[in-house]
A and B are shown apart, each in its own frame.
Chain A
Amino acid sequence: SAVISQKPSRDICQRGTSLTIQCQVDSQVTMMFWYRQQPGQSLTLIATANQGSEATYESGFVIDKFPISRPNLTFSTLTVSNMSPEDSSIYLCSVGGGAAGANYGYTFGSGTRLTVV
């Protein structure tokens, strides 16, 4: 399975600022996803990062707040913009092979633990 490097692993940020999280994969993957895990909660899908086109956002998430880039099949970034304390969460990158991923599971990065003060 793919190996994911997600950076930073954690950060403490001031409200009103932005943080960009990077997800680097050691092989080309079809699908890349970004999830949020709020304290004590399950994972919520933010968006699907599409290579060469705009990301597909889930209900409740918008591009202005969570801009995503995916310049190639091995790399994606998620930016958390104009942060507030409510954005304090763990953000996770996930990769998989589309239908194959649906069949065989996905690999997750170790996550970015964000605290907004």
Chain B
Amino acid sequence: AQSVTQLDSHVSVSEGTPVLLRCNYSSSYSPSLFWYVQHPNKGLQLLLKYTSAATLVKGINGFEAEFKKSETSFHLTKPSAHMSDAAEYFCVVSSRGSTLGRLYFGRGTQLTVWP
């Protein structure tokens, strides 16, 4: 079975400071892992994805995530937060090789960026 746990429902940082959004996963198969961002009143946008290549994945807008199999984690980081990063972030897992390919969403982390 597949599942995702986002350890923080809310994260607040000051502009210019680092961002860390934590995600742990559970998967019966080799997982694919994603981070999606949802800005207010907007659709979901794919930030980055891990699909068994490099364990450190770089995404859009300066975000990156590191796949750590031993810790079953896929934390999202950014060195310096920007006001425009304020949004809801979802960690998502899927089973690679599954013909259905469905996604399993974490509950989301609301990121607030203070000026």
- Interface positions of A (Cβ within 8 A of B): 31, 33, 41-45, 48, 92, 94, 96-111, 113
- Interface positions of B (Cβ within 8 A of A): 32, 34, 36, 41-44, 46, 49, 51, 90, 94-103, 105-108
Least CB separation from A110: chain B residue: B43
Q: Which of B42, B46, B94 contacts A102 (CB under 8 A)? A: B94
Give the dominant DSSP class at B's interface: loop
Q: Do A98 and B106 have beta carbons less than 8 Å apart?
A: no
Q: Check A48/B32 contact, CB under 8 A, given A41-B107, A110-B43.
A: no
CB distance from A76 to the nearest CB of B (A): 16
Give the dominant DSSP class at A's interface: mixed
Q: Do B99 and A99 have beta carbons less than 8 Å apart?
A: yes
Q: Do B99 and A104 have beta carbons less than 8 Å apart?
A: no
CB distance from A33 to the nearest CB of B (A): 7
Q: Check A102/B90 contact, CB under 8 A, given A41-B107, A108-B43, A110-B43.
A: no
Q: Which of B90, B101, B105, B106 contacts A101 (CB under 8 A)? A: B101
